[in-house]
Amino acid sequence: MFLAPIAMHIPDGFLSVLVSVVFWVISIAVIIIALRKVKGTLGERDIPVMGVLAAAVFAGQMLNFTVAGGTSGHLLGAALTTIVLGPWAAVLVMTSVVSIQALIFQDGGILALGANLFNMAILGVAVSYAVQTLLTRLTGAKRWGMFISAFVSGWTSIFIASLCAALQLSASGTSPANISIPAMGGIHTLIGIGEGLITLGAVSFLYAARRDLLKASGTSTRGSRGILVGGFVIALALAIASPLASSHPDGLEWVAEQNGFLDAAQGSLYNIIPDYALPGLQNEAAATIIAGIIGILLVFGVAIAIAYTRRKRGTSQV
């Protein structure tokens, strides 16, 4: 039996208008700073990497994995993008993914998009970078330290982002802090293990196949054509596998259901490709796969466009 991926991000209705507006303002400000920070710093290597990472993260997020207790988790990808690109470019990649998910796939509310961007594209990256920096200093940039950093930063990014979401729910009056924080923190402690293992696996693969793509290993001196081909193959493979995603509710949905505020979620004002299934196709697996491929192309295009406008002048692209 094929199963479609489930919505994963904070929907409208969970957060108050005030909380939503505050996080919209914060997120916009940080994204503007990120755009300025990367201006003139992105070279030939970074442009295709930003595109394929955005595509792979989008596709990877469609593959929810089952967690104990009848819930599921999914890849965040903030730690991996930070390891490969550094924090500011990672913010822009994650912003591309989360924005397309909300605007095209109705995953996460439009009013709540500022909070979702803050939790995943900003806080997730900031926590990952802080952990990676600290562990690099403690381990003296040793190889095994990079692998430990990959797992710990992946786990920490999920856990801290979940606590922030809990605080947003509490500040909105949706769920008291003494309920939302333990509930979100508890389930995402388990989900974070999956994130850590996925990040560790991806970093180990890159270390073996394309060590030059890791920031800790220096600047790439090899062509970008292989990055595009390899990255797209991985993203397409994930999209093709997406109908096998777990049907269990994700961490936030499970907490909402267990604590009685799931009904507060509001539907989208419009639908383009809701629930990661292309409308009009009776075959659910095909509808999900095609939707995933569309998403991959969209986030790839957005990330490439951002990178191209921020590139070093006079740099050639492949």
Least confident of 127-136, 197-206, 237-246: 237-246
pLDDT of residue 315: 47
Classify residue 214 as exposed, middle or buried by CB count within 10 Å of its CB (0-12, 13-18, 19+): middle
Mean pLDDT of the chain: 88
Whether residue 2 is contained in a domain is answered as no
Burial 69-81, CB ≥16 within 10 A → b, else e: eebbbbbbbbbbb
pLDDT of residue 184: 94
In a domain? residue 5 = no
pLDDT at 39: 87
How far apart CA 179 and CA 177 sit, in angstroms, is 5
pLDDT at 95: 97
88, pLDDT greater than 90: yes
User: Number of folded domains in the chain?
Assistant: 1
- Burial class from Cβ neighbours inside 10 Å (0-12, 13-18, 19+) for residue 120 reads buried
**Mean pLDDT across 55-72:** 87
CA distance 238 to 18: 37
**Tens of pLDDT along 167-188?**
999 999 999 999 999 999 999 9
In tens, the pLDDT along 21-48 reads 999 999 999 999 999 999 878 877 788 8
65-67 and 71-73 beta bridge pairing: antiparallel
Q: Is residue 252 part of a domain?
A: yes
pTM value? 0.91
Considering the domain boundaries, does residue 7 fall inside one? Answer: no
Distances (CA, A) of 105 to 108, 271, 277: 9, 8, 8
Q: Using an 8 Å Cβ cutoff, are 42 and 217 in contact? A: no
**Which of helix, strand or coil describes residue 64?**
coil
Q: How confident is the model at residue 227 (pLDDT cuts 50, 70, 90)?
A: confident
Strand residues in the chain grouped as ranges (E):
65-67, 71-73
Domain coverage including residue 182: 17-309
pLDDT > 90 fraction of the chain, expressed in percent and rounded: 62
How many Cα neighbours within 13 Å face the side chain of 138?
11
The verdict on residue 1 lying in a domain is: no
Q: 179: helix, coil or strand?
A: helix
Sorting pLDDT into bands at 50, 70 and 90, what band is 219?
A: very low
315 inside domain:
no
* Partner residues linked to 250 by β-bridges: 72
Q: What is the CATH number of the domain that holds 183?
A: 1.10.1760.20
In a domain, 297, yes or no: yes
Residue 116 falls inside a structural domain: yes
Name, in order, each residue with C-beta under 8 angstroms of 167's C-beta and a sequence gap of 6 or more: 177, 180, 181
pLDDT-derived band at 19 (thresholds 50, 70, 90) equals very high
How many of the other CB atoms lie within 10 Å of CB of 151? 22
Write down the pLDDT at residue 247.
Answer: 80
